[in-house]
Amino acid sequence: MIAETPLVKNLENTEYMNILLDGKGSLKECFSEIQHKIILEEFETANYNEEKIPTKIKKAIRNKDIPSIFLNLAQKYFDSKSNRILV
């Protein structure tokens, strides 16, 4: 049985079809009411990602020396804190 078969079998279920058609005469009628502009807007919204990675970060991630860079930064940070007075 192919993966799409259960969805096709649902079309034989009268209760399912009544819910799906929502008072329309056929699936063709339902699909004809879909406005293509709304679909395009939804795709644009879905493709827009507010959490894009900044270019500088992408370059840093691609840098093969990034682990040693982070280790050096951490070492400098901890070295600067090692001689302070503990409260």
Grade residue 85 by pLDDT with cuts at 50, 70 and 90: low
45-68 confidence digits (pLDDT tens):
877 766 777 888 888 888 888 888
One-character DSSP codes across 15-44: HHHHHHHTT-S-HHHHHHT--HHHHHHHHH
Largest Cα–Cα distance in the chain?
Answer: 81
Query: What is the pLDDT, as a whole number, of residue 56?
Result: 86
Closest listed residue to residue 45, CA positions, set 53, 37, 33, 57: 37
pLDDT tens digits, one per residue of 6-55: 667 788 889 988 898 889 998 888 888 888 888 888 888 877 766 777 88
Domain spans of the chain, in order of start: 5-47, 51-82
69: pLDDT confidence band, cut at 50, 70 and 90?
A: confident
CA end-to-end span of the chain = 71
Structure confidence at residue 31 (pLDDT): 83
